[in-house]
Amino acid sequence: MATTSPHQTQSVFQALADPSRREILRLLRQGEMTAGDIAAHFDFSRASLSHHLNLLLQAELVRVRKDGQRRIYSLNTSLFEDLLGFVFRFIEGSSD
Amino acid sequence: MATTSPHQTQSVFQALADPSRREILRLLRQGEMTAGDIAAHFDFSRASLSHHLNLLLQAELVRVRKDGQRRIYSLNTSLFEDLLGFVFRFIEGSSD
DNA sequence: TAGATATTTAGCATATCATCTAAATATGGC
DNA sequence: GCCATATTTAGATGATATGCTAAATATCTA
The DSSP-derived string for A8-68 is GHHHHHHHHTSHHHHHHHHHHTT--EEHHHHHTT-SS-HHHHHHHHHHHHHTTSEEEEEET
pLDDT at A5 over 80: no
Which has the higher per-residue pLDDT, A88 or B51? B51
Chain B residue numbers touching A86 (CB-CB < 8 A): 83, 86
Which candidate in B4, B22, B87 is best for mutational testing of the A interface (most A CBs within 10 A)?
B87
Distant-in-sequence, close-in-space partners of B73: CB < 8 Å, separation ≥ 6:
B28, B32, B33, B34, B35, B38, B53, B62, B63, B64
Distance, in Å, from the CA atom of B75 to the CA atom of B88, rounded to the nearest integer, reads 15
Q: Return the closest nucleotide (C1') to the Cα of B71.
A: C7
pLDDT tens digits for A45-83?
999 999 999 999 999 999 999 999 999 999 998 776 667
Distance, in Å, from the CA atom of B94 to the CA atom of B96, rounded to the nearest integer, reads 7
Mean confidence (pLDDT) of chain A: 84
Which DSSP letter does residue A84 get? H
Instruction: Using CB atoms within 10 Å of the CB of residue A5, give its burial: 0 to 12 exposed, 13 to 18 middle, 19+ buried.
Output: exposed
- In this structure, which amino acid lies at residue B58? Q
B9 touches chain A (CB under 8 A): yes
Inter-residue contact A82 to B90 (CB < 8 Å): yes
Q: Which residues of chain B between 2 and 61 are close to nucleic strand C, CB under 7 A?
A: 34-36, 39, 46-47, 49-51, 53-54
pLDDT band at residue A89 using 50, 70 and 90 as cut-offs: low
What integer is the mean pLDDT of A24-29? Answer: 91
**Domain map of chain A by residue range?**
10-92
pLDDT at B96 over 70: no
pLDDT at A84 over 90: no
pLDDT tens digits for B22-32?
999 989 988 99
Query: Which strand D nucleotides have any atom less than 7 A from protein CB atoms?
Result: 5-11, 17-23, 26-28
Distant-in-sequence, close-in-space partners of A49: CB < 8 Å, separation ≥ 6:
A35, A38, A39, A42
Q: Is the CB of B54 under 7 A from strand D?
A: no
Distance, in Å, from the CA atom of B69 to the CA atom of B80, rounded to the nearest integer, reads 27
Mean confidence (pLDDT) of chain B: 84
Query: Which strand C nucleotides have any atom less than 7 A from protein CB atoms?
Result: 5-11, 17-23, 26-28
Chain A residue numbers touching B23 (CB-CB < 8 A): none
Q: What is the 3-state secondary structure (H, E, C) of chain B?
A: CCCCCHHHHHHHHHHHCCHHHHHHHHHHCCCCEEHHHHHCCCCCCHHHHHHHHHHHHHCCCEEEEEECCEEEEEECHHHHHHHHHHHHHHHHCCCC
CATH number of B11-92: 1.10.10.10
Fold type of domain A10-92 = Arc Repressor Mutant, subunit A (1.10.10)
